[in-house]
Amino acid sequence: KVLIDVPRSDLAEELEQSQTKIQVLQDTLQQVLDRREEERQSRQLLELYLEALKNEDSILSKVAESETVPRKEMDVVDTGTSSTGILAKTALSDQILSALKEKPAPELCLDSQDLELVFKEDTEALALALSWDKQKAEALQQACDQELSKRLQQVQTLHSLRSTSKGKKTLP
C-alpha cells in the first residue's frame, strides 16, 4: 500500500527505474490489493452462506420432525370422520374454520398440517361447516392443495441446494 501511495517520480528515482516501469509496478500492486480484498469479501460471503445453510438444516429438521408426528394422528382423525358420514362434525378445529371464513386467502395463513387437513376433509362436510356452497369449498381445497405443492417444491429445492453445496464442500 505504501509503494502505491509514493509519488512515481520519487519511487523511480529511488529504484533507478523509469516512471513507466514504476507505473506498471504500482498498477500490479494495486491489482494484488484489489484481488486480496475481493477474496476477503468472498470468504465472508461464503461464511455467511454456510451459516445460513446450517440454520436452514436445523429449521428443516425441526419441520420434518413436527410434520411426521401429527400425520399419524391426522390419519386416525380423517378415517374417523369419513366413516361417520357427511353430517358429522369436521376434523378441523374452530381456529382453522374461523381462519377459513375470515381470511381472503386462508391457504397462505395456515401451516402445512392444517392445509393438509383442509384438503383431505370431505368437501360436503367442509361446505356445511363453513356454510358455503360445494363449489366454493372445492375451490378452497384446490387452493390448499396448490399451496401444499408449492411448499413441498420449495423444501425439495432447499434440499437439492443443500446437497449440492455439501458436495462442493468435499472438493479440494
Instruction: Find out whether 153 and 139 touch, Cβ atoms under 8 Å.
Output: no
The pLDDT, as a whole number, for residue 66 is 64
This prediction has a pTM of: 0.44
The pLDDT, as a whole number, for residue 79 is 46
The string of pLDDT tens digits covering residues 36-79 is 999 999 999 888 888 888 887 777 777 666 665 554 444 444 44
Lowest-confidence region among 142-146, 150-154, 157-161, 167-171: 167-171
126 to 55, 62, 106, 110: CA distances (angstroms):
38, 30, 14, 16
pLDDT at 12 over 50: yes
Cα angle value 7/9/13 (rounded, 5°): 120
CA distance linking residue 62 with residue 166, whole number of Å: 20
The pLDDT, as a whole number, for residue 153 is 87
CA distance linking residue 154 with residue 110, whole number of Å: 16
> Domain spanning 94-167 has what CATH number?
1.10.1490.10
pLDDT tier at 106, thresholds 50, 70, 90: confident
